[in-house]
Each structure stands twice: as structure tokens, then as C-alpha cells.
Amino acid sequence: MTVNFSNIGVIGAGAMGRGIAQIAAQAGSEVLLLDSFDGAAARGRDAVLAQWQKQQEKGKLDAAQRDALSARIRAVDSMEALAGCDLVIEAVVEDLEVKRKLFKELEAVVSPSATLATNTSSLSVTAIAAAMKHPGRMAGFHFFNPVPLMKVVEVVAGFKTDAEVCKRLAGYATQMGHSAVQAKDTPGFIVNHAGRGYGTEALRIAGEGVADFATIDRILKDQAGFRLGPFELLDLTALDVSHPVMESIYRQYYEEPRYRPSVITAQRLAAGALGRKTGEGFYRYPDGAMQQIPEPPVPTVESIPSVWVSPRAARRPELLRLVHALGAQLESGATPSSAALIVVAPLGFDVTTVAAVERLDATRTVGIDMMADDAATKRRVLATNPATRRDMRDAAHALFARDGKAVSVIRDSGGFVTQRVVATIVNIACDMCQQGVCSPADLDTAVRLGLGYPQGPLAMGDLYGPTNMLEVLFNLQTVYGDPRYRPSPWLRRRGALGLSLTHEEE
């Protein structure tokens, strides 16, 4: 196989440079590794060799293959040694001035036809290339950590980048076994931009006292299928990394309310409760393992009152079948009897608003999140309003847990937990499409591979229904009066017309 680039230089032999060197050699390129810190390039090379040794021990490589790979990677100690490279990828410290200076020097060394790339995750590719004589040959080539396992790379076109350069880098990414996605040079590119919704909305929900961290995590894992809850994820990445990213994206987008960070993480960062690596974050990690927080038990109740379901409930036929299957007596009157448990299932609205608008007895009213198909989820979520009586809350909890499915009871919140978080993620993704940050297909690929979400954000919106997403956001905006919930034009139009969120205009 002939590769797009046969002689590669990698500058910076840290976590990222090593990984890039490894997959470049695996693709068949000759790789030169350079680092300004004495001995770092050789250590980087040794670390890559150790990876291949491990693969040989596991039977994934034979000795001849390992030797061939090892011969393809060399440590060098000067930029001049990179003169013959047809591609140089920079993965040094994240500092604009350092990177600018590096590319200016590099340009004077390599041939005029060589391609140059930066692995920056948060700086502007355009700004890094601005000091170059030929910025057209420079692009962002943003890998994720650990590079060999995270199979996606963002190819970022700066203001002056030639389209051909992006095309060749994307082709090379495929040869390295990675999926390339094309991004405009905008803050956070694709993955770090699309990832803004999950944590920030969960933090807002927690900040309002709707539910505790562990409950929010359980709901998003069991109801929406996320592998890690937002607070588990924040603990894993550590707040000294994630809080500054939240602030940086917010600032770079001139304080766009959709990306507003939370005072919760600012304060925890100040306290040093960074997450797993400090032994204390949202969870505690005695001896390294996460301490599980026990779930509140299902209450024991003597009897369940008859149940009246609001005619405006989401998925009402399904909800009626569910209540019947759980063995409760259903009321069919136009209004609830004087002892009935009243069940409402709003999209975006809070239980309080529904009880007031439908003139229901709030003391007996409980909400259930029916946005998702009940059969497709592992948890049901109920919400009380400030007037809900304890016996009614307990009766609802016991009823909906009767078949053994997990139930969480939260305080009143527009959109429960899943509706709020999913609609926020979907809305941000739609706005990225509206702004032309990337194509809808690349957005979903990048987020699935880069963040491990169960679906790409647009597929997620299609799963729950674009019209439902729009309704949730409209109603959240009414409940909270917060511009962060205003629907993106991309979602407004597709949601209103019942089109898929991946639909592009002809």
C-alpha cells in the first residue's frame, strides 16, 4: 500500500506525539520524532516500541512485524533532520506563541511542497498559521487521547488552508485506521464544542437541587444509555481540565448562554476536589475505586389509589397500558376522583405548571417522564411538585417500581433530567450544523467516536423525535426564561416540518 505521506515528522514526544508516531508507523510511514526536552524523543520512541512489544506478547504482531515497525521510527534532535519530511505534525505544549514560532522555523526547513499540521485542541489553527509565509499548507489534525484507541481525528481547515491539504490529511487518517471528520476552524472544533451540553446542563439541574449527582448519573445512564454519567465523567477527566475548557469555549463564543459554565465546578476546582485523581470529586475514591452511593429504597405502601392520567400526557396510550399492566385501577372520568393519584407526563413543562394549567389538585399530582419508549429504558423517572403529599409520592414510586424496574423520584424541573440534557445536546449540535462547523454526518461520527455517546446528537434527536425536541426547548424557555434553551433555527425548521435532523437543504 502506498501511503499519502511516506516521511513523517512528529514534533513533541509526549502523550499525543507518541500515539501519532505509533499509528503513522503502523500505516507504513517512516517516522522521525523530535522533542526540545533532552532525551524525550528517545523516551517517546521507547514507549512506542514497548506498545508493539506488548502487542507481540498478545499475539497481535509477530517478531518480524514488530522489527519492521520498530525500524520505521527514529528519534532526532534537530529540526533540520525533518528537512525531507512530506508531512510534519506538531504536538508540543498548548501555547500559541510557541506553536507560531515553531511553524515559522519549520517552514524554513522543509520543502515547499510539505504539508504541516497541528494537533492543537483549543487554539485557532488560523492564528497559529498567521505568521507563516504559506499558511495554505497548514491544517489542524486533532487526535484524541489515547491516539491508537480513539479512532477519530478532526481535520481542521484554517482561514487560508488549501482544500487539497485537508483532503490528503483525511485520506492519510483513513490509512492510519481512523475516521477523519472535517471541521471549520471554530472554538472546540467538533467534539469539544458538541460536548458542551452534557456536563453543563447536568450541573444546572444539580445546582437547582432537582436531584443529587448520583441520581442524575443513574438517570442518564439507565434512561438515555450514556456509558458514564456526567458527574462520573467530570471526575474522570478532572476539573482542572474540564472547568477551564468550559470557560474557554464560553468566552470564545462571546458568552453564548448555551455554553455557560457552572459555579459548582468553579468552587470544587478551588477546593481541589478535582475528581478521581485526587481521590475526591463528585464521588469518593478510597483506594482508587469509586464508592457507590446507595439508591433510596422503594417505599412500602399499603394500597395504591386509583390512577387518573392527564389527557395531555405524552405517549398517553402507552402510559395507560403501563399503569394497567402494573395493576393499578385506572380512572376514565374527565376529571380525577377525590382520592385519585393524578399522573401527568409533560414535555419540557414542569409538573407545577401542568397542575396549574389543567386545574389539577397539586397535592395529588406526580409527573412521569414519557419522552422515551418505556420498553427501551431501564429506569422510570417521576417528579413531584412542591405541594405533592408524601403518601401520593410514595404510592407513585411503589406503583411504577412494581415490575422491578428502577425508579428515581426527583424534584420538579422543567423537562425532568433526560429531556433537559438530551434537548440541550441536540440543540447545540443543530446549531453547529446551522453555523456550518461541519456536516451533520461528520458531527454524529465525531461525537460517537470522540465522546462515546450512545448515538450521535442528531441521531439522538431523531430517536426522541425532532418535534419533541422542539417542544421540550420551547417549554423549557417558558419555564426558565433562559436564552440557553432557545431552539437553533436548524432544529426549529426541521422540528416544525417533521424532518430528520440530518436533513440538509438541496
91 binds ligand NAI (CB under 6 A): yes
244 binds ligand NAI (CB under 6 A): no
3-state secondary structure of 484: helix
Contact, 474 vs 348, CB < 8 A?
A: yes
3-state secondary structure of 7: strand
Nearer to ligand NAI, 6 or 36 (CB): 36
For ligand NAI, which stretch binds (CB under 6 A), given 14-22, 251-259, 361-369, 436-444? Answer: 14-22
3-state secondary structure of 434: helix
Nearer to ligand NAI, 119 or 388 (CB): 119
120 binds ligand NAI (CB under 6 A): yes
Contact, 362 vs 355, CB < 8 A?
A: yes
Q: Distance (Å, rounded) from C-alpha 429 to C-alpha 489? A: 11
186 binds ligand NAI (CB under 6 A): no
For ligand NAI, which stretch binds (CB under 6 A), given 93-101, 261-269, 304-312, 393-401? Answer: 93-101
Nearer to ligand NAI, 145 or 291 (CB): 145
16 binds ligand NAI (CB under 6 A): yes
384 binds ligand NAI (CB under 6 A): no
240 binds ligand NAI (CB under 6 A): no
3-state secondary structure of 498: coil
List the one residue from 3, 10, 11, 501 that touches ligand NAI (CB under 6 A): 11
Nearer to ligand NAI, 93 or 441 (CB): 93
- Active-site residue list: 121, 142, 154, 192
Written as one string, the DSSP assignment of 64-132 is HHHHHHHHTEEEESSGGGGTT-SEEEE---S-HHHHHHHHHHHHHHS-TT-EEEE--SSS-HHHHHTTS
CA distances from 318 to 107, 378, 405 (A): 64, 16, 16
Written as one string, the DSSP assignment of 345-386 is --SSS-HHHHHHHTT--GGGEEEE--SS-GGG-SEEEEE--T
Compose the 142-181 pattern: x for residues touching ligand NAI by CB under 6 A, - for all others.
-xxx------------------------------------
Backbone angles phi, psi at 423, to 5 degrees: -65, -35
Residue tagged 405524552 (cell numbers) = 314
35 binds ligand NAI (CB under 6 A): yes
CA distances from 189 to 18, 347, 367 (A): 22, 31, 38
Q: Distance (Å, rounded) from C-alpha 429 to C-alpha 467? A: 15
Residue 404 CB, nearest distance to ligand NAI (Å)?
41
Residue 168 CB, nearest distance to ligand NAI (Å)?
21
Residue type, 324: H
Dihedral sign, CA of 349, 356, 337, 299? positive
Contact, 169 vs 144, CB < 8 A?
A: no
Residue tagged 517552514 (cell numbers) = 107
For ligand NAI, which stretch binds (CB under 6 A), given 53-61, 137-145, 199-207, 410-418? Answer: 137-145
36 binds ligand NAI (CB under 6 A): yes
89 binds ligand NAI (CB under 6 A): no
Q: Distance (Å, rounded) from C-alpha 19 to C-alpha 455? A: 26
Residue 125 CB, nearest distance to ligand NAI (Å)?
11
Residue 112 CB, nearest distance to ligand NAI (Å)?
22
Nearer to ligand NAI, 11 or 166 (CB): 11
For ligand NAI, which stretch binds (CB under 6 A), given 6-14, 290-298, 306-314, 389-397? Answer: 6-14
Contact, 426 vs 329, CB < 8 A?
A: no
Q: Distance (Å, rounded) from C-alpha 118 to C-alpha 11? A: 10
Nearer to ligand NAI, 169 or 472 (CB): 169
Residue 79 CB, nearest distance to ligand NAI (Å)?
8
93 binds ligand NAI (CB under 6 A): yes
Residue 174 CB, nearest distance to ligand NAI (Å)?
19
Residue type, 135: P
For ligand NAI, which stretch binds (CB under 6 A), given 7-15, 209-217, 267-275, 280-288? Answer: 7-15
Residue 268 CB, nearest distance to ligand NAI (Å)?
21
DSSP run (H or E) holding 302: none
13 binds ligand NAI (CB under 6 A): yes
CA 93 to chain centre: 24
- Please work out the total of residues on this chain that contact ligand NAI, with binding judged by CB under 6 A: 23
Residue 16 CB, nearest distance to ligand NAI (Å)?
3
Nearer to ligand NAI, 33 or 344 (CB): 33
Residue 56 CB, nearest distance to ligand NAI (Å)?
25
189 binds ligand NAI (CB under 6 A): no
Cis-peptide into 454, omega within 30 deg: no
430 binds ligand NAI (CB under 6 A): no
For ligand NAI, which stretch binds (CB under 6 A), given 48-56, 129-137, 140-148, 169-177? Answer: 140-148
Contact, 13 vs 45, CB < 8 A?
A: yes
Residue 95 CB, nearest distance to ligand NAI (Å)?
8
Residue tagged 456536563 (cell numbers) = 199
State the helix-helix crossing angle for 489-497 and 466-480, rounded to 10 degrees.
Answer: 130
| Contact set with ligand NAI (CB under 6 A) | 11-17, 35-37, 40, 91-94, 98, 102, 119-121, 143-145
